[in-house]
Chains A and B, each alone.
Chain A
């Protein structure tokens, strides 16, 4: 407590609030994004983020009040609809996944822009500047928002912790999980839905692109350091947390610099560092290992590469 108050004395209250909010989102997004990346759905979060605009606009139109909670509920609804649409397109058409994500993302964003722009031109109160919702406004985060972000993040992480076994099973071999009698489709949907919740909640704090980055980059970093799920979750969460905090710290020192992009760049620099220097997988490590005797570690790596090639051929 003493230490906290010392920090609080040095930092402005506003920076503390922003740091708490962004850190909560960063940590939870890293944990939840891990499953998204493992399920090869890294960009579903991006589609969900862009789809929120429709819900945000509709919520304002229906209730007539620009309250963050109301807007978030609307955004969450439309993000869920977008995910359901993705599932439907995958199931009923031969459009491939990548095109489906791009279609849902861009068309729902277009619909959102159309709605908002129509509302602005009809002079509906509160609609001005709503299209900037996706850009986020980190600096204006209030203590209330930070608490909301923290609560949602904690709940999401708790969901993962409770259902870790099921989630892991589905993430690694969905067909096996289904054959073993688990509700694989439902678990799968919950995993994506968690990503959507995280993205929508993180939006006002961080903006669409930053949230997408927080869902993708920390798991990518964690992937360099470990082959196991629990360490991967922990590392992803930590990387998300640390890069958020560092980002907020940097942008609070240099006033001019916006928080969101800095957080992304910090996370990416972690990734670059890991890609080169991580043990076993890192480029430097592998270059050194090939010049020495093949170690057990590299054999493991080879086995993994072979397994990957085999799966790719099967697919």
Chain B
């Protein structure tokens, strides 16, 4: 759906940006969608490093496939890369089980070795392999539109066609195994016990990853494929809690990253692949800032809201105590702002230049003071604290006690109505 929208938007642009850029952008969008879908599953299964490993390790697979006479961009290359990816995964597992290494070290050993083997193969085979290590590392997105293939009379870029078929394959595969994927991702052992072929599911996912990686190679190169696999998924995962929402959001992020990155790169005449990774990084940054439950902004806001509530309640309580003892109230920081806010909320009223509690405000203040004094009484009874040490803990906890807790404390104290300082404990009003 999102891809369709993105694609049709791009066809509209064809007149403005010209078909060359249009095809490059379309290819980038399709490739990033492939990567985002499998990447989300990879990230929730905590296998992101495997994405990094596979993107390096498909190199020898590519080289061997080309040496065996496969066409660049053809099925043979995809097959070779998938075999290499599976070798990486298998050797990682092997090292993890038999060499007493932790997972990250096993991944590190496997992919560096395979990448080294790939580089060695390229150098040794010399001119027989038309693979430029630079192209493998940095991609050739700008050249995508020039290598075309005829499909039903249409001249389409070869990379676009192969990316589109991989996308269809991935969507089909993920859609068919969706329930298994979810179950395996969240509880592998339970899935295994429930009779789900966990090994097959994982294997399928990794085949998807290697297909997406090989497709991504052409567009953005080996290392930036990692950005496409992991970054949109990690960003989406912070923002939503349902896995299928995360997949859609990741695809959206990936598409925005691809289009935005290409256009920015064009504007500043720099590398499209690099700029895409940068845009994705910015998206991730925004996601961790605005994430609703644990984002930096969310945490800051909830902290500020809490501090503000404490200020308000302290102010109400001190006004109430001033009324009780017929003394002048002490003004704290932000007094003017707090008074104005309380007036707006109908808890304070200004009478002859003095703020007094409204009935509503008095009720709120009584609850705070009640919590405070109940807690002091409870501490006085059960904890061996001197009387002048009772105030600070009560001052803190008065903002946190609810009605039921107050009731329980009151019952436990036997309906005492005088606190250790000799002040009256206000009653709960209904």
Contact = CB atoms under 8 A, between A and B. Distances in A.
A107 B105 contact: no
Given A101-B49, A261-B119, A121 B223 contact: no
Nearest to A95: B234
Interface in A206-225: 209-210, 212-213, 215-217, 219-220, 223-224
Interface stretch (A11-19, A109-117, A170-178): A109-117
A132 B237 CA distance: 34
Band of interface residues on B: 35 or more
A257 B234 contact: no
The listed residue with most B CB atoms (<10 A of its CB), out of A106, A114, A212, A213, is A106
B100 A105 contact: no
A41 B104 contact: yes
Task: Please report whether the interface of chain A is mostly helix, strand, loop or mixed according to DSSP.
Answer: helix
B130 to A, nearest CB: 18
A117 B141 CA distance: 14
B277 A109 contact: yes
B228 to A, nearest CB: 8
Interface in A85-124: 89, 92-96, 98-99, 101-103, 105-107, 109-118, 121-122
B271 A107 contact: no
Contacts of A117: 270-271, 274
B205 interface: no
Contact of B120 (A43, A89, A265): A265
Task: Please report whether the interface of chain B is mostly helix, strand, loop or mixed according to DSSP.
Answer: helix
A242 interface: no
B48 interface: yes
The listed residue with most B CB atoms (<10 A of its CB), out of A95, A213, A224, A275, is A95
A121 B119 contact: no
A40 interface: yes
Interface string A255-287: 011101110110010010001000001010000
B116 A264 contact: yes
Interface stretch (B5-13, B278-286, B412-420): B278-286
A114 B265 CA distance: 8
Given A43-B107, A95-B288, A132-B134, A220 B274 contact: no
Given A121-B269, A210-B112, A102 B226 contact: yes
A118 B269 contact: yes
Contact of B281 (A107, A224, A268): A107
B296 interface: yes
Contacts of B117: 261, 265
A46 B116 contact: no
A281 B101 CA distance: 12
A293 B52 CA distance: 43
B101 A106 contact: no
B158 interface: no
Given A40-B102, A107-B284, A256-B124, 7 more contacts: A93-B296, A107-B277, A114-B278, A258-B123, A265-B113, A265-B117, A268-B113
* In the complex, the 8 A-B pairs of residues with the closest C-beta atoms, listed nearest first: A110-B277, A113-B274, A107-B281, A117-B271, A106-B227, A114-B274, A118-B270, A213-B112
